[in-house]
């Protein structure tokens, strides 16, 4: 069974624990702290476990030329990429305010640290776990320093190869036992043929001692529910209040009613996964009592007759007789009483049948 650990205070993941559902607000708050608060409340109301943001210290994430690059997209909040990102970046004090609001609402709060200085701040903020975005998954100095902080980690794997993910696993595992890896494809929005859910199962084989999850950017909820059916223990989806808002992530995000339906569907699938033990369940007994078949005499069988297969058939019968799967065990045994045509054949009517079956 996959490793279990406490991702957030009092909330275990892995094993038979419920899937941990992250509502990725990211920067879909439009740079407005009041919208951000509405989104935190929405995530809580829809049943998500965690509201997550993205924190950058821009001068540490981008070099000067990247920040000065003209940004003329219709999604832009400024003339340069730096102006655009600064519009969407909350201050440290605003993060503290959002963290406090999430506490009041009753939902876990964290953020992806998009550079090493952002991780330092989030560590100071005392977030329950670090999220590593796909852009930093192959950033091994960052991974090592983040793992050494000792907080649980959730690591996305977009844009990476299995070879790289093996190195990621080894790098984090050396310093931190409590982490999970999410299958992810970094495209927005993501087409179904590029999702590659089977990687979840490959990760489960490659890394059997950690939980595996899924971070999705596709439209709708079906694929994420499928990921849970394959064993994802953590799922992350971008959320928005309005898909038509300015910003490249909104089109690949879930609106409130979709997030609520995702949570309901995941919880339903979890109930349906069961134990993996195949047996007749108590809920099946009424159907079995009504329609379950038994071995029946095809012809009249006098006492002392040695049974052959052509003397027997299978029907829904009253009273219940020997189960159909045992019909071949009857061949060659003698009956101890007269059995009429079309009568149920029960254990007491066959010499030594019950004793042999119990043995």
| CA distance linking residue 126 with residue 120, whole number of Å | 10
Rounded to two decimals, the pTM is 0.91
SS3 of 302-355 = CCCCECCHHHEEEEECCCCCCCHHHHHHHCCCEECCCECCCCECCHHHECCHHH
Per-position b or e across 204-232, b if 16+ CB within 10 A of its CB: beebeebbbbbbbbbbebebbbbbbeebb
DSSP-derived secondary structure letter, 194: G
Phi and psi based region of residue 276 (left: phi greater than 0; alpha: psi -120 to 50; beta: remaining) = left
61 and 198 together in one domain: yes
Give tens-digit pLDDT for 106-117: 999 999 999 999
| CA distance linking residue 159 with residue 194, whole number of Å | 12
Coil vs helix vs strand at 234 = strand
Residue 256 domain boundaries = 7-273
| CA distance linking residue 67 with residue 101, whole number of Å | 31
Largest CA distance in the chain: 99
Coil vs helix vs strand at 127 = coil
- Is residue 220 domain-resident? yes
Give tens-digit pLDDT for 145-157: 999 999 999 999 9
Structural domains counted in the chain: 2
**Where is the domain boundary, 249, 273, 297?**
273
Mean pLDDT of 301-309: 97
What pLDDT, on the 0 to 100 scale, is given for residue 355? 58
The single residue listed with the structure tokens 């898909």 is 243
269 and 287 together in one domain: no
**Where is the domain boundary, 273, 292, 317?**
273
- Is residue 359 domain-resident? no
| CA distance linking residue 224 with residue 232, whole number of Å | 9
CATH number assigned to the domain comprising residue 295: 3.90.1210.10
**Where is the domain boundary, 273, 301, 322?**
273
Residue 53, strand partner residues: 26, 111
Give tens-digit pLDDT for 61-101: 999 999 999 998 888 899 999 999 999 999 999 999 999 99
How distant is the alpha carbon of residue 293 from its chain centre?
Answer: 39
């Amino acid at each position: 069974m996959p490793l279990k650990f406490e991702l957030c205070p009092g909330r275990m993941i892995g094993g038979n624990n419920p899937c941990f559902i992250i509502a990725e607000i990211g920067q879909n708050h439009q740079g407005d702290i009041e919208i951000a608060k509405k989104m935190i409340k929405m995530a809580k109301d829809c049943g998500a476990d965690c509201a997550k943001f993205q924190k950058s210290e821009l001068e540490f994430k981008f070099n000067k030329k990247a920040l000065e690059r003209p940004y003329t997209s219709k999604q832009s909040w400024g003339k340069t990429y730096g102006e655009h990102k600064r519009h969407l970046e909350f201050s440290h004090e605003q993060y503290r305010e959002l963290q406090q609001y999430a506490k009041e609402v009753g939902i876990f709060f964290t953020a992806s640290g998009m550079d090493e200085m952002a991780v330092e701040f989030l560590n100071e903020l005392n977030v329950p776990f670090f999220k590593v975005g796909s852009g930093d998954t192959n950033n091994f100095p960052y991974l090592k320093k983040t793992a050494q902080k000792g907080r649980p980690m959730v690591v996305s794997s977009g844009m990476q190869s299995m070879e790289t993910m093996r190195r990621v696993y080894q790098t984090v595992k050396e310093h931190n036992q409590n982490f999970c890896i999410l299958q992810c494809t970094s495209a927005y929005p993501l087409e179904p043929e590029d999702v590659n859910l089977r990687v979840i199962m490959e990760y489960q084989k490659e890394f059997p001692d950690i939980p595996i999850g899924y971070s999705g950017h596709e439209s709708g909820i079906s694929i994420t529910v499928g990921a849970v059916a394959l064993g994802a223990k953590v799922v992350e989806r971008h959320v928005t209040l309005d898909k038509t808002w300015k910003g490249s992530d909104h089109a690949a995000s879930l609106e409130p009613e979709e997030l609520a339906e995702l949570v309901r569907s995941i919880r339903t699938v979890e109930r349906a996964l069961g134990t993996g033990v195949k047996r007749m369940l108590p809920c099946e007994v009424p159907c079995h009592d009504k329609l379950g078949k038994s071995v029946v005499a095809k012809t009249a069988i006098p006492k002392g007759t040695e049974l052959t297969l052509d003397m027997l058939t299978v029907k829904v019968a009253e009273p219940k007789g020997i189960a159909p799967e045992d019909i071949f065990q009857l061949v060659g045994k003698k009956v101890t009483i007269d059995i009429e045509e079309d009568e149920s054949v029960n254990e007491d009517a066959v010499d030594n049948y019950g004793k042999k079956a119990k043995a």
